[in-house]
Amino acid sequence: PRKTDISDANFPVDSEGRTYHLGTRRGEVANRILSVGSEKRALMLAEYLQPPAPGRGLFMLESSRGFLTITGRYLDVPLSIIVTHMGLANADFVVRESRAVVDGEMAFIRLGTCGALQPPARLGSLVVADPGAILIRRNPDAFGPEGEALGLPPYTFSQPIPSDPVLSLALQLEAARLLGPEGVCSGLNATADSFYCSQGRRTAWFDDRNENLLADLLTHQPSTVTLEMETAQLLDLARCSRGSIRASAGVIVLADRQSNDFLGAERIEQLERLAGQACLAALARTQLEDAWGAHNGSGT
Ligand code: R1P
């Protein structure tokens, strides 16, 4: 384990210039990044990468916090796969800490899994977050002493946050090539701040007041097709990146929230491989402005 001192409480880096949670430094991360939820998915997709330089292996670094970064090339273009784990905060770490150690314009694609709310999303399809994603948040004030009296809503829904149209289209075209046109569709995603309460899952252990959440969501945004936990954070950061980040996401439907069907493990892996190659190809083939210049928003 590394034991180097951390400096800069505003944006912590160690004496080697490594970020605090991902542990990577300049030169180790490419400006094209595939963000995935699990180490298993990352290692599986790393099988499709070539080494960053002839005669070398893939660059691999797992931080003390479990963020694995793998850097190599795809279609001869430098590219990193990063294990993002789950949820808004982890997506935030991956985007902000990678941005801090990379020069030039960046592109992020998230490949994840999701629940489907309605067609065209269906079990086994890849749904590209185009036009984008909304954010569903639990509102703790609604559960406090005055919450009910004030009539505060237990969950809030943001307006749609756009994905990058160029990257989204590239992903749809590559996915149609690999999965067949019927295997891919696009639609508005909803990102929730919990797997359970803010996705309308019910349990007797907690007072979640989410019986009407999915119906309310569809009233708020009738075109919402998928539910997961990271995309809106990625799109929000890209939108606020002062033009330095393009982002999109594709999510494999593994649960149907209407019928309660769940996809089999073998089929999930097949789809992860095909959709993963589509993401890698979309990233590699998307033109980026590599001479964008040093990012000036962080402490590095
Ligand atoms: C929950 O089981 C996790 O699965 C989905 C959700 O967004 C959440 O991260 O995506 P991943 O398969 O990418 O992790």
Q: In whole angstroms, what is the distance from residue 141 CA to residue 78 CA?
A: 46
ipTM (interface pTM) = 0.99
Q: Is the CB of 231 under 6 A from ligand 1?
A: no
For ligand 1, the distance from its centroid to the CA atom of residue 71, given in whole angstroms, is 22
Consecutive 10-residue averages of pLDDT for the chain (300 residues)? 78 96 98 98 98 94 98 97 98 98 96 98 97 98 91 97 98 98 98 98 97 97 98 98 97 96 96 98 92 42
Domains of the chain and CATH, by start? 6-285 (3.40.50.1580)
| Residue 193, ligand 1, Cβ within 6 A | no
pLDDT at 221: 98
Q: Is the CB of 250 under 6 A from ligand 1?
A: no
Measure 245 CA to ligand 1 centroid, in angstroms: 22
Q: Is the CB of 199 under 6 A from ligand 1?
A: no
Q: What is the pLDDT of residue 294?
A: 41
Q: How far apart are CA 240 and CA 230, in angstroms?
A: 16
In the numeric block, the tokens 């964008």 are attached to 292
Q: How far apart are the first and last CA of the chain?
A: 23
Cβ-contact 82, 36 below 8 angstroms = yes
Distance of CA 51 to the CA centre of its chain: 24
Q: Whose CA is nearest to atom 4 of ligand 1?
A: 113
The atom number, within ligand 1, closest to the CA of 191 reads: 7
- What distance in Å separates the CA atoms of residue 116 and residue 145, rounded to the nearest whole number? 35
**pLDDT score recorded for residue 289:** 85
- Taking a C-beta distance cutoff of 8 angstroms, is the pair 230, 161 a contact? no
